[in-house]
Amino acid sequence: MNRIDSRHLVVGGRPRLLLGGQLHNSTSSDIELARVAFDRVVELGGNAVTATASWHLVEPREGTFDFTGVDALIDLARERGLALTLLWFGAFKNAASTYAPRWVRADTGRFPRAEAGADGATGAFTRPGTSMLSVFSPALLEADRRAFTALARHIAEVDADGTVVMVQVENETGLLGASRDHAADAEAAWSAPVPTALLDWLAAHPEATGTASRLWREQGSPAAGTWPQVFGDGPGADEVFMAWGFASYCEALAAAAAEHLDVAYYANAWLGPQPGQELPGQYPSGGPVAGVVDVWKAAAPTLALLGPDIYVDDVKGAVSGYVREDNALLVPESRVAVGNVFWAVGSGAVGFNVFGVDDLRPDGQFAAAYHLLTGAEGVIVAAQREGRIRPVLLEAEETAVVELGGLTWTVRGAADVLSKIFLDAGVQVRTQARGEQENLEEALMPAPADTRAMGVLIDLGEDEVLVIGQGLMLEAAGAPGEIVEIDDAVEGRYEAGEWVSGRNLNGDERLNLLPLDRLAAVRVRVLRRWR
């Protein structure tokens, strides 16, 4: 059984932290390229991989299914001991419909397109001529659900050992180019009564602060009415409407599949608002962004979680909207920035995927991070479940204060401290992390290594913390009148959950417990005494 239990992922009865990568969109369609990418995940030290099952390849002709490619992906993952997440690229992928089969896209009478109407919005990702089907089409829902259910039934038959642990339903859903769909079925839904399930959810959650709750209260908290009557008439109301449409669509697929395949189903979000994409329609309107997570929760109870795809610089802000009592945190996709891993894991994430894992260097920062974190998986998962873990990610000259284990930890960037200690005295020392490239030369977009001070702190009990990261300097304080000093610091690593000690750090190394230019793990014990 694979499920989300109290915001934690349980696979085969064991709590897990899945760290790995997502293949480039087209890699899964070539088994030899996929083989290389799966091997890359193993080289990186990851324990999970995410790959694509595409509707147009699974059902090239209506009613005729071909799962050969899916079977090959499952075999590759099983042979390497990797947990596999499958992405269903069905009717919707990145706010477009390019993965729907030709027989769907060619039949505009049976499967109508979404229509922008008069409220068209423009943005960097608006793509004229790109196919976008209407999520309100009953025929589309039925066809997509049939294919997705067939996929789930097939996986259940061929994957008795549970290599597939999660399935993503569609990908970055939402409507680009308009805040809501104006196709005929969409207009009919807009003028129909708001479903009671959403109104009941809003009434039962007076503390909610999402877009739907805010607009509903502004309208006087009506108990019934059409969408404009309940939420007003504007981009926010349009986004709530579209969120219900996409969430209900994904729920229909997930609920049907769950009758055959017992895995965790989820949906991912193209984030918004963000710079240059301030309005719904400039980013995909109706996708599971933080502002409408409430709507998705009300409409799609079968989805175990909703997760942010992080390509923005502000990982802290991106994650915050998904750390909720009713939602386990997963980062389905992330740009190449290793600081994102540490912030996510320290925030309780059940999994993290760097996008384009095919392109990563096997000896880079992500490899170091994954080896350290997966080796300590059991320690981390237990700390997440018990609230004994904290993330740290510092910009230049930034300081973090962390309450952990009955102590107050002041965490600074070692480079900032060293520059003040040595450079002001005229002593030349290196105080900058070296930023080498993280991906291979053939990668489309270069990705320098992350030079920020970063890490996770884990309370091990008995006045000892485990710190995994780079470039951090720690100082502990206790109760008033109590003196706290570092008693011992041991560098090392976890191998299959067992600590393997390295150097005992003292003297000069106390100034640089976590190196500036490489990731490391250190167990720090403090001595507490009274004045």
Cα three-residue angle 125-131-136, rounded to 5 degrees: 100
Average pLDDT for runs of 10 along the chain of length 531: 79 94 97 98 98 98 98 98 98 96 97 84 50 95 98 98 97 96 97 98 96 98 98 97 98 98 97 95 97 98 97 97 96 97 98 97 96 97 97 96 96 86 56 70 79 97 97 93 94 95 91 89 95 74
DSSP codes, 325-373:
TTB--EEEEE-S-HHHHHHHHHTT-SEEEEETGGGB-TTSHHHHHHHHH
pLDDT score at 442: 72
Q: What φ, ψ does residue 233 adopt, rounded to 5°?
A: -135, 100
Q: pTM score, two decimals?
A: 0.95
Return the structure tokens found at 109. 């009478």
Partners of 467 in beta bridges? 457, 522
pLDDT score at 432: 57
Question: In whole angstroms, what is the distance from residue 410 CA to residue 164 CA?
Answer: 41
pLDDT score at 124: 40
pLDDT score at 474: 93
pLDDT score at 55: 98
Partners of 89 in beta bridges? 54
Q: Would you say 334 and 355 are in contact if contact means Cβ atoms under 8 Å apart?
A: yes
